[in-house]
Structure 1
């Protein structure tokens, strides 16, 4: 084990000397007299990302050479104390190894499990003390990123939110009829003799809006999932929850910004998710234009359906595509 860590540390230092800076996987701190004030940022970033390595006692500005007078024992203890300032507490492997005549502190920070993220500096809280590794630096996570990590602790239920102002009239009768026919055929003992509204309530296509006191039991309104799957025109309530198709010249999006190049074509696709899937596939197949296209319609349909089904439907994301 000792030989493995020694070889890894040597490998990382040789790489950083070659490229001249830290890497996505490794952060170097001098820490000659005291632990770096940003060490907690790095502990957070590696814990929230894919893990990484920290080396103390090495000078980046002097070509990743050992720091003269570095106190490895004191800095190893200081790093351990910094780990205690995190929530959840970080438990890295911290070792001291000789390198070019000086002892360095070498630590491996493992990625935390999704249910434990975000890892943050306790004193700053999750929205102020959570970081992520980008390139060779630690970047403070946005509130949006932190909220998405917190959501991973439990299954998000934003798709069950009631759509304010929407009613049963905003559902497409044909799509509703198709859904009812299918579930009655698949589960006749459960749904065959049930009223359509009751079935839609059970499937959580509809919910009672208890905030409307003028209606006994609350007015029936579509849920976000119900509106997107069965709505006539969901974009009436969420204008950005559609599909934008752009056909670029060449093979790179950057090509459109060079010289006089422009988009070959563009189109906005709206409607319920089933309608948008059909329209998007039809449009893309027309632009591909080949009798034997490289992308079969079935593959495009699957990719588009997955994108629409699994996109972020949290309130923070409903204003963007």
Structure 2
């Protein structure tokens, strides 16, 4: 796919031909309809889907496609177009969401402005939200039929912007400060000596940041000068805000520095505003930051490496008194979402950039970044991170929760005994620190696992590790911390209170199940292990909640009557 810069010179050819003659697989021209803005929006969405399904391309709006001579063909578009609003309309009306890039070009003819809409096709096939779609074949958009869709599923039309070449001498673009930061990070992570001892030229060549005498855009993002990045990759930007509240900030910084320098600046700001707690452990005093350094490093690297460099936006870190919010431009891709991000295989948007950082040992390509963020927080008894997709960006939220020294010691003691807990185990234990009980369905959500995996996880924590206790049977079964675990983490009084609350917990469980279906006395006996008399006594206490018995003998069932006003 050609670049936007290659399109402008083509306009001069309109002196000798019509726009139709210039159209190709990745280029189309459309006239702007001054009578109906909504019709223009529909046209933009239709063409964005067509181009994306065809592997990506550009559509130039404001040019009549069957008229010769520049002065006649170039009609232009309104100069006051809201590009962000148009981008949002395309995003909202496509499935999966399509992130189009909008750019205005100045021309001497017509209104003086042309609109270029550019798309790639990394998640094709795309459709309109009503299910309709087309695909680019040559210079035409044709209906995307079932056979064509099947053909697309087995092929890749992805475009990696970070792999594109910058046709300028690399020595004029490279930043000495960036090279220095990269080498500092390489020392920290103990890269092989042969890589560390290379001179600058051979280092850049060996990792693939240079193609001949030219930087790739990925190489520029890591090693480039700020002014070169701003000029050649204006979509890139980073920013920091120290927030007083949701609307006011008391400190700010931003820029176009390459990723290693930006990372250093953001970590430096956080280091001055990251409260430390000291915990006495025998003769030693250990220090723990509110936000673990590993979590911060991995979160920032993920934001820079996975952001969408096709759209304008900022990797923004906002630090509030009680939380951190990190956002980066781009939506989830490859089936990843906020409910499966912990265990989903890595789907890099920017393969080349990821490869460069991986060869420098600054990132890991096997999806270890997100689990490391989780583990570094959970191991200290802190709340796990939360991710969500908002519009055209991904947001990571880290709560400034306090260190739980007893939990840290508990995990350390288990490790000394040869018991290693993974992130799934830690998530279940953390949930039970804040809640009295957990069942399979809650464990599925908490650990981002399927039903069978969640059951196996709870069984392992109960039967093998003895960290949990199972209460009840069948579909009414739930789990609590075992006595040993509860004593270590909550104290003995907490466990005694938990035992006293068992009857109340079973009542709540019965009421919950009765909202979906009727139960027999045997159903509840199987669930709790109680005898018939005990079940009858408990259910009797639920009459005030609307529980009644229907029928007699073995056919009798308990049901929950609907509440009346």
TM-score by length of 2: 0.23
Larger radius of gyration: 2
Structure number with higher relative contact order (C-alpha < 8 Å, ≥ 6 residues apart):
1
